[in-house]
Chain A
């Protein structure tokens, strides 16, 4: 534990054990609260989450098996100044990524300029169907989740950009509600910026990207259904925005328009906030075995009869192979200096990088180019000899399928564990919304690796979440 304290940046404490100023008030409060009381608050939260049904399904377990994402009662706190830098950096990034997406599906100036190699067009996430298609306001990633990690006082890195169907925002909102319920007295002590208006901001942005001429656009949320792991979130956001939560079977296509089946007959749909992957959205165009999508949807979309958020084909921009070019994109499209840094990344398709990675496997994190959710990933320092060897073989079988990064010294945040309060590694996912404007609400999903020493924060791998407090100036 002492070792850990020296090695990692801690959100609350300096290396000498004294408290950082933004946490001073909280630490003083925490000192007076017995462990037992915190534990009973944690249990109360669990009970409430279960009763409200804030659960997720885990793939590979019994159908209908539902689990809670563990909620930690200790918040992560960020100062106004820290947040404004992160917020500016995330907005800058998303603006550049949207311009990149427009470019790659139109003139491809960035390839012509030699900044991004033409091989990107062979990436499986590149959707040729989208070439030459104009989307309203040129926005592709209406909702983007930017994963950030911290390694030092001023050192934040972007771990990845999530531009397809990023999830987690419901936990950001529900965690805040829970904290206010459990610890109202803390909200009197801290000037915490409100972010409960997220659904309203999202709805305004989605309305703004309806096709020109639509007066009162009808927005719906398209979910794969009640057995999807993120179903709670889909239901939650739809309810918060007051829009219909639809499944593929509820929609149909006629005369270059999308309609939903209602008890009063067909109703036209203008904007679809879809939480179904590209592959499943239209069985006529993509996976023919998909029961989730809407036959003919893509053709209506390409003809401008409906708006999809996020757009089809955004995966080419958040792919781990594309990630390395984002700082260059910012310079190219915006002429600005990137505010947030990338993590140094090795591409195993390059012989030099491959050799370095294989020689230093035990110190690196290796990820599948198209993996997500913490599946199919190797954390070198935490892996056994056998696991390292197995992964080496998998890399050698298809090097281009992997990238590697140094094992980042993720910051720690005090967290309630069995023995009391102990430091655990955290990351941060703010959600950038684009439509009318590009903005984010002052809040983020903070994920925490609950296992001691673990650096993997994904909920599917035993991670939990925390409320994140952005302090007002």
Chain B
């Protein structure tokens, strides 16, 4: 397929996944702000959301002090912020429009409808008029996108690039979410206990739809290292790093065919680390170090994918 087409498909999927994750972060942060005994200031509550989006500096420059309303506007609707839900959904739709031929009709219509519906939220005061509803809407549109593409698209390279974008982005987002909250998960921290910690941990789980999964898997009180284990090493947890790489590795093998390339090697190496890694070792080396390293490697993999498939050079 055309390299440019592959590029549009890959980025379209990344942007939709990014919108979903942003909505998840906003949603749990907002819910935590509603906890009656929460002693946290607006800054300690909302700054992590900005950190996950990598937008603290830009926010401070344009908005100044951290307020709930400001962060929500910046992350959800700000047309000047390239990572806002508004901006990434618009980019997703622009990318989709450029390759509508390659998408199944249902997939294209789904993304087009997503954008048409989204315009209703523009100009609305989300803090007043149901941020939760908005976030649910973004999440369900993202689910719908995956469902429609999975259910209607031919299993060809177009589909593979689309899935590749989804999981590269998801791995990045889960790692960032964990990294921003990692201090809560460090062993030794558990004796602090208390209601707030419980809410924090459960919030992380809820942000990746893993609250019930946790209870099913561990059938026990929420322990921080188990939260980390669930989101890093468990293959059966669909938003974990391991689960993402269980999707990425075979896709890259199919795309590469008989050729060996740096993408395949990198992905294989990362996959092996997640597959054979032990949580104890990770904590011993430091969860933060592990996650930082993962985010960088995942990013390098993205660069290699771009170089190998998406901006294919003329002379090959």
Contact = CB atoms under 8 A, between A and B. Distances in A.
Interface string A39-62: 000000000001111000000000
Given A226-B98, A263-B6, A252 B314 contact: yes
Given A245-B101, A266-B314, A51 B4 contact: no
Contacts of B116: 50-51
A53 B4 contact: no
A264 B259 CA distance: 10
B313 to A, nearest CB: 9
B3 A53 contact: no
A263 B109 contact: no
Nearest to B161: A263
Interface in B193-242: none
B312 A263 contact: yes
A265 B108 contact: no
A52 B109 contact: yes
Interface string B1-23: 11111100000000000000000
Nearest to B100: A235
Contacts of A261: 2-4, 312, 314
Interface magnitude class on chain A: 20 to 34
Interface string A126-153: 0000000000000000000000000000
Instruction: Give the interface centre of A247, A252, A262, A265 by most chain B CB atoms within 10 Å.
Output: A262
Given A247-B4, A262-B1, A262-B3, A53 B100 contact: yes
Contacts, number: 63
The residue among A50, A226, A231, A250 with the most chain B CB atoms within 10 A of its own CB is A226
Nearest to A242: B101
Contacts of A246: 2
B125 interface: no
B157 interface: yes
B2 A225 contact: no
A249 B312 CA distance: 12
Interface string B134-167: 0000000000000000000000010001000000
Contacts of A249: 4
B113 interface: yes
Contacts of B314: 252, 254, 261, 266
Interface string B104-126: 01001100110010000000000
Interface string A249-283: 11010100000111111100000000000000000
B97 interface: yes
Contacts of A235: 100-101
Contacts of B257: 264
B94 interface: yes
B221 to A, nearest CB: 48
B42 interface: no
Interface string B281-316: 000000000000000000000000000011010101
A250 B109 contact: no
Contacts of B108: 52-53
Contacts of B1: 244, 262-264
Contacts of B101: 235, 238-239, 245
A264 to B, nearest CB: 8
B255 interface: yes
Nearest to A243: B101
Nearest to A234: B101
A231 B100 CA distance: 10
Contacts of A247: 4
B156 to A, nearest CB: 11
Nearest to A64: B94
Given A226-B94, A226-B97, A235-B101, A262 B2 contact: yes
A260 B312 contact: no
Interface in B34-88: none
A53 B6 contact: no
B112 A263 contact: no
A19 B257 CA distance: 66
A375 to B, nearest CB: 26
A231 B98 CA distance: 9
24 contacts: A51-B113, A52-B105, A52-B108, A52-B109, A53-B108, A225-B98, A226-B94, A226-B98, A231-B97, A244-B2, A245-B101, A250-B2, A250-B3, A261-B4, A261-B314, A262-B1, A262-B2, A262-B3, A263-B3, A263-B6, A263-B161, A264-B1, A264-B257, A265-B316
What 9 pairs across the A-B complex have the smallest Cβ distances? A239-B101, A53-B112, A226-B98, A261-B3, A263-B309, A245-B101, A265-B316, A235-B101, A235-B100
Given A64-B94, A262-B1, A263-B309, 14 more contacts: A51-B112, A51-B113, A52-B108, A53-B100, A53-B109, A53-B112, A226-B98, A239-B100, A250-B4, A262-B2, A263-B161, A263-B310, A263-B312, A265-B316
